[in-house]
Chains A and B, each alone.
Chain A
């Protein structure tokens, strides 16, 4: 199975900050990576797929990059509604696997 490791596990930031979250795969997954945002008590929301494609309706302050084993999710200017937990997920091979999550908190 492909293990997905996110860093950091949690991060504190302020509105307006630029934040980067990293996801590393235990083996190469080409660009078969998705990013999700989840708020407490809610279902996850797809932000990015195939590493850098922005899902329809997602604000352009969210961007994704990377290929192979190393990927990043960047939020260019944090907004109050962005404080949530973020997950990466590989779609290269089965079983599909998620990272452990990164909690983004208000500083």
Chain B
């Protein structure tokens, strides 16, 4: 079964850091681009960051550029999101998601269950 399992969410103070992890199974992780997408309470979906496996290229939303870092460990089938200088507006459910077609960006067909990040003092 194709599966993504996020972990690492929690309550953090403004200015703090968290590292999210996403463990992948059931597919050839190395072949697919991956993204983090978040959803603030009662709001819509916001793409946060993406990483392609073939060349390691990374991309970020303007709202997180310079504060968040996406990475992947293809030997461990795991995707990461290092989040620094967290702000109240980063409070959201964070999903990891897999692209539907190997190698590029078409649409995300497999999603994790989400992990909740709350930034509050």
Interface, chain A (partner B; CB < 8 A): 1, 32, 34, 36, 38, 43-46, 48-50, 55, 87, 89, 91, 94-101
Contact = CB atoms under 8 A, between A and B. Distances in A.
Contact of A34 (B44, B107, B113): B107
The majority secondary structure among interface residues of chain A is: loop
Contacts of B45: 36, 38, 44, 87, 89, 98, 101
- Interface size class, chain B: 20 to 34
B115 to A, nearest CB: 11
Contact of B62 (A48, A95, A101): A95
A43 B61 contact: no
Contacts of A95: 47, 59-62
15 contacts: A32-B106, A34-B106, A36-B107, A44-B95, A45-B111, A46-B108, A55-B100, A94-B59, A95-B62, A96-B35, A96-B50, A98-B46, A98-B47, A99-B44, A100-B44
